[in-house]
């Protein structure tokens, strides 16, 4: 099987009906970067910056972070890297930060909420990213944005950081892309203005699904209870795709489900064109996409929904089996 993936490594993830899906990889440590060349990924669609905070015993310094981000960009050799600002809290607790005693940390003081309430660390991180870019293009996204105003405030922090760099005479990125993760159902219903303003959106399916079904992703009893290909969830995702299409907002999906071939094929069928996953999933996902006709798959998904199936999975599996 590995050989089959090697033979398609440099081929596009082009479906039988001519749609090309961009496959990116998720990363978080320097050690992940060599996979960028080996996997055939087009770029890093999600760089989880909190991992580098989690492996340290002290808060990293700005210069240290900046050097690290510069090495990530060097290793990417001009390919796009989407840096996600710190997503701490919830399951990710920094050893050198006072733990919060929260009854529901996944829904608590985490990610952009911490970044906006105590902006010191986020400001330091934004500055480190700007310096690391040394004038090169830079992509940054904010985690766990639940309403437009949080994105707007985070963007203002970036504007301030940019202004400071300008005054200091440091180079600023030739192109700065700012985006948000869509991980709470509320953001899918943000005003059109949000979809127009945001540079891009990336669906964090791990969190989005846990909040959609109210099923804790950490709880073995419930975490696999609801299928990602449940018609309700898939209809919800399709609605997000349509809103993004209406405003021309670039959309990707970067949760773990993007790396599962059947799920990935369904996401493509409902209109997603950028998927970001662990590097080892790129081969299998590409392989299934190259054997799928998205128009046919979409018809199967809609037929299953119209019939009242609970999940589109059985119908989709039957279709895909016929393609093997
Ligand atoms: C997600 O929620 O799907 C996501 C990509 O972020 P994380 O898994 O780091 O919460
Ligand atoms: Mg998340």
Q: What are the pLDDT digits (tens) for 174-199?
A: 999 999 999 999 999 999 999 999 99
The pLDDT score that the predictor gives to residue 2 is 61
**pLDDT tens digit sequence for 127-169:** 999 999 999 999 999 999 999 999 999 999 999 999 999 999 9
Please enumerate in sequence order all residues whose Cβ is within 8 A of that of 64, keeping only pairs 6 or more positions apart, or say none: none
Give the chain's mean pLDDT: 95
Q: Could you report the per-residue pLDDT of 266-315, keeping only the tens digit for each? A: 999 999 999 999 999 999 999 999 999 999 999 999 999 999 999 999 99
Closest-CA residue, ligand 1 atom 8, reads: 206
Contacts of 256 (CB under 8 A, 6+ apart): 205, 206, 277, 278
Tell me which residue of 143, 304, 137, 126 sits closest to 232, measured CA to CA.
304
Of all ligands present, the nearest one to the C-alpha of 208 is: 1
| Residues 258 and 267 sit within 8 Å (Cβ to Cβ) | yes
Residue 92 banded pLDDT, cuts 50, 70, 90 = confident
Query: Terminal CA-to-CA distance of the chain, rounded, Å?
Result: 13
pLDDT > 70 in the chain, percent: 98
Q: Looking at residues 208-219, what average pLDDT do you find?
A: 97
CA 169 – ligand 1 centroid, Å: 36
What is the helix (H) or strand (E) element at residue 62, kind and residue range?
Answer: helix 62-76
**Which pLDDT value is given to residue 100?**
77
* Three-state SS annotation for 8-60: HCCCCEECCCCCEEEEEEEECCHHHCCHHHHHCCCCEEEEECHHHHHCCCCCC
pLDDT at 101: 83
Q: In whole angstroms, give the CA distance from residue 153 to residue 150.
A: 5
Confidence category of residue 4, pLDDT binned at 50, 70, 90: confident
131's tokens: 């310096």
The C-alpha atoms of residue 40 and residue 284 are separated, in whole angstroms, by: 12
Q: DSSP for 250-262, please give it.
A: -EEE-SGGGGSHH
Q: Helix 261-269 vs helix 282-290: angle between axes, to the nearest 10 degrees?
A: 50
Q: Is the dihedral of CA 41, 43, 45, 51 positive or negative?
A: positive
pLDDT greater than 80 at residue 227: yes
How many angstroms separate the alpha carbon of residue 146 from the centre of ligand 1?
14
Give nearest CA residue, ligand 1 atom 4: 204
Write out residues with Cβ below 6 Å of ligand 1: 46, 48, 87, 183, 204-207, 254-255
Residues 6+ apart with CB under 8 A from 54: 92, 94, 95
Which ligand is nearest the CA of 204, by number? 1
Say if residue 1's pLDDT is above 60.
Answer: no
Ligand 2 centroid from CA 11, angstroms: 30
Q: Which atom of ligand 1 is nearest to the CA of 143?
A: 6
């Amino acid at each position: 099987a590995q050989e089959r993936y090697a033979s398609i490594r440099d081929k596009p993830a082009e479906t039988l009906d001519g749609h090309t899906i961009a496959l990116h990889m998720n990363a978080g440590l320097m050690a992940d970067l060599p996979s960028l060349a080996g996997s055939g990924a087009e770029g890093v669609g999600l760089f989880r910056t909190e991992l580098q905070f989690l492996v340290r015993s002290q808060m990293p310094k700005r210069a240290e972070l900046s050097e690290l981000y510069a090495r990530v960009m060097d290793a990417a050799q001009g390919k796009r890297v989407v840096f996600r600002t710190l997503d701490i809290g919830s399951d990710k607790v920094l050893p050198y930060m006072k733990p919060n005693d929260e009854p529901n940390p996944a829904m608590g003081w985490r990610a952009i909420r911490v970044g906006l309430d105590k902006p010191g660390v986020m400001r330091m991180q934004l500055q480190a990213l700007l310096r690391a870019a040394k004038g090169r293009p830079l992509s940054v996204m904010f985690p766990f944005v639940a309403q437009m105003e949080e994105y707007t405030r985070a963007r203002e922090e970036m504007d301030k950081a940019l202004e400071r760099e300008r005054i200091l005479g440091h180079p600023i990125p030739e192109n700065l892309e700012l985006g948000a993760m869509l991980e709470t159902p509320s953001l899918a219903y943000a005003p059109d203005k949000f979809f127009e303003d945001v540079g891009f959106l990336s669906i964090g399916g791990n969190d989005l699904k846990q909040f959609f079904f109210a099923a804790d992703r950490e709880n073995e009893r419930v975490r696999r209870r609801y299928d990602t290909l449940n018609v309700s969830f898939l209809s919800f995702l399709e609605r997000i795709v349509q809103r993004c299409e209406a405003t021309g907002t670039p959309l990707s999906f970067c949760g773990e489900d993007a790396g599962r071939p059947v799920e990935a094929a369904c996401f493509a069928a409902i209109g997603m064109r950028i998927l970001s996953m662990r590097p080892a999933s790129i081969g299998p996902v590409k392989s299934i996409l190259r054997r799928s006709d998205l128009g046919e798959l979409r018809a199967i998904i809609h037929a299953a929904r119209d019939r009242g199936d609970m999940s589109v999975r059985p119908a989709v599996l039957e279709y895909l089996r016929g393609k093997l």
